[in-house]
Amino acid sequence: MALAILPAMSNHATNRSAEFLKIADQFKLGVLVTESSHPVTANLSDASRRDIKAGLRQLFDVDGDVVRKYREFVQSGRAASIAQTVLRALEQGGKLFFTGCGSTGRLSIQLVSIWRDFWQRQRARGLACHPEPSDWENRASSVMAGGDFALIKAVEGFEDFTAFGKKQIGDLGVAKGDVVFAITEGGETSFVIGTAWRGVEAGARVFFVYNNPDDILCQHVQRSREVILDPRIEKINLTTGPMAITGSTRMQATSIQLAVMLTVLEMVLRELMCRLHPDGPDALDPSTVPSEFLDQLTRMHATLKTPEVLDPLAGLVALEEAVYRAGRRNNYFADRFGIDVLTDTTERSPTFCTPPFRKGNDTTAAESWAYLYVPCEATPQAWEHILKRAPRCVEWSEAEVMALVGEEKFSQTMDVIRRISTPELMRFKVGRDGLGLRPPQSGGSAVAILGGTDAGPALAVGGFCRQQLEATRRAGGRIGLICLAQPPALETVRAAVRDDWAADCLVVLVPAPEGRLLLDGAARVGLKLLLNALSTCTMVRLGRVMGNFMIWVVASNLKLIDRATRYIQRLTGLEYTDANRLLFEVVEYVEPRCKADKAYPPVVGLAVMRQRHGLTNEQAEERLMAELG
């Protein structure tokens, strides 16, 4: 039973809570399907602690919702008309924009990276066409709330302001004749809605991509209702149901969005390649893409649930869990799949309150549990290798910021802007020049994540991933390998590992479905499902989830403040208002450590401990951390 009296609160925390509660009705999102608990994973934490494979099966079972929804999308026949809209725009000189924030922001960057990588490979092969491959490559742009810096860490405040979305896409020159895909998991994100309205104002063709039923959004969220009812905006509703982890839209919501967006891009590219090569093979027929993608995705999902994948994947979960429990670190190494691995790795921080990537020369911040390196000598080139373009961060002038937020919030916003610039992003050393900052260690681990086209070179003598895995093994660390490729390439990898490392390496070999997709879309979705399951099950085993609720959620924006409030309300019996006031009291307590990237306790867990036992913040933290071990 909840205590009747809340501990005393500071004036600052009281004021911040009061400010939120004034607008809370706009962000009370508990009614949304994406915020609901999925019945399949209701006992996920208990099941995963008893048997890792049982937890992984539950997560992959929920991914069946993605396959089901994708099948519905294929049967609707909408892919062809969407692709034709994009194709006509590009042929007439238009540009393509993908916008999002948080998980969908990272998705937007991933989509453009995949698009650009295709054209860069065509250019490397000497494709002669008009316009040149470089022109096609540069027709697609991503717009993430907070810019590319937000790939690493959520940027305070950006998600919550429509004006910021309008500004960021406006800075990229969205214009009449362009196409905008405004992607938001919940269908209610202010920043993304801002990009949609700016696209409409500019005369662009706008698609709104989201994952909640229209009737619920229209009834409860005014800003969503205005978009959904506007005939100038075409809607792509991809509701799959609740997430495997309640509210964690980095999972099924963005998985179905990745599948659908890659289907559209595949159809566009096939049509373009047909026109560039009119005497080419019939395999480039764009009309067959949805059915081919569905077949491959269905087989990919089934493959992930086989013992051949599930058993070694459970071994990797156990490996990472043991490393983190021992206070050691894990390094990921990737090449072609760098953006995929980066997305999953950095999304662990806001979802499970793990330390975000640490800047190379920052010795005070908590060290990241996991990190990513790619095979480039210097960090600037490494970032370009991941993004397939030069990094693009938000670097607004003081005048621009003043015009956006006014004098009251000017100083706070400028402080945020200064911390998310390109030079700040370059402090995250993801190339070879950063390897010395996280050298191999006894008790640590290294995991290489490879695709068919880069597996051979990466594991050859002198190959980047081979070098790093061997160095970790020599230092007394544990090593693992995930390879998603066609069966012949997998056999080469299997032989290399058997000959060189025998039983020392945990190997997850995932057969990619054979097919003719230019972008390997089903394989990319399959890798996302696998990485989501690996990271989620690991964090569940580490106590970051209760049932299927994220009790370590970071309240970094208004939507997440509401989510944290609802979790406290559910776990303490407090009224919503009181739960929110308690949340802000705890946020104030941990905020200095959060801003300094230092380790701090979970705000939800701390608030619950305070309320249940009538403790101070300090007492609650001591008791909570003792219970967590």
pLDDT at res. 3: 43
* 224-231 average pLDDT score: 97
Please compute the mean of the pLDDT values over residues 118-132 and round it to a whole number.
Answer: 85
Q: Model confidence at 4, in pLDDT bands (50, 70, 90)?
A: very low
Does 47 map to a domain?
Answer: no
Percent of the chain at pLDDT above 90? 75
Nearest Cα neighbor of 101 from 58, 51, 165 is 165
Final residue belonging to a domain, choices 292, 313, 338: 292
pLDDT at 309: 97
Give the CATH number, domain containing residue 533: 3.40.50.10490
Q: Count the Cβ atoms, other than its own, within 10 Å of residue 219.
A: 12
Q: In what order do the strands lie in the sheet with 179-183?
A: 140-144, 96-100, 179-183, 205-210, 233-237
363-377, 482-496, 579-593: least confidently modelled range = 482-496
4 assigned to some structural domain: no
Phi-psi region of 169 (alpha: psi -120 to 50; beta: other; left: phi over 0): alpha
Report the 3 state secondary structure along 235-260.
EEECCCCCECCECCCCCHHHHHHHHH
- Give me the amino acid identity at 357: F
Rounded Cα–Cα distance for residues 515 and 494 (Å): 22
What phi, psi does 7 have (nearest 5°)?
-60, 155
Q: Which helix (H) or strand (E) holds 613?
A: helix 603-613
Range of the domain at 574: 11-37+548-628
Tell whether 27 and 74 lie within a shared domain.
no
Is residue 298 situated within a structural domain?
A: no
Asked if 188 and 147 sit in the same domain, the reply is yes
Q: Cβ(206)–Cβ(232) under 8 Å?
A: yes
* C-alpha span between 583 and 565 (Å, rounded): 7
Q: Are residues 268 and 372 both part of a single domain?
A: no
Residues 71 and 148 in one domain: yes
Residue 6 lies in a domain: no
Who wins on pLDDT, 281 or 404? Answer: 404
Residue 487 has pLDDT above 80, yes or no: yes
In this structure, the answer to whether residues 179 and 323 fall within a common structural domain is: no
Q: pTM, whole model, 2 decimals?
A: 0.93
Is 607 part of a structural domain of the chain? yes
pLDDT above 60 (res 30): yes
What's the pLDDT band for 283 if we cut at 50, 70, 90?
low
Q: Is residue 599 part of a domain?
A: yes
Contact indicator for 527, 513 with CB cutoff of 8 Å: no
How do residues 174-216 score in pLDDT, each as one tens digit? 999 999 999 999 999 999 999 999 999 999 999 999 999 999 9
Report the range of poorest mean pLDDT among 289-293, 314-318, 384-388, 461-465: 461-465
> Over pLDDT 70: what percentage of the chain?
97
Does residue 11 have a pLDDT over 70?
yes
Number of domains within the chain? 4
- Taking the C-alpha atoms of residue 48 and residue 545, their distance in angstroms, rounded to an integer, is 10
**Do residues 182 and 193 lie in contact, with contact meaning Cβ atoms separated by under 8 Å?**
yes
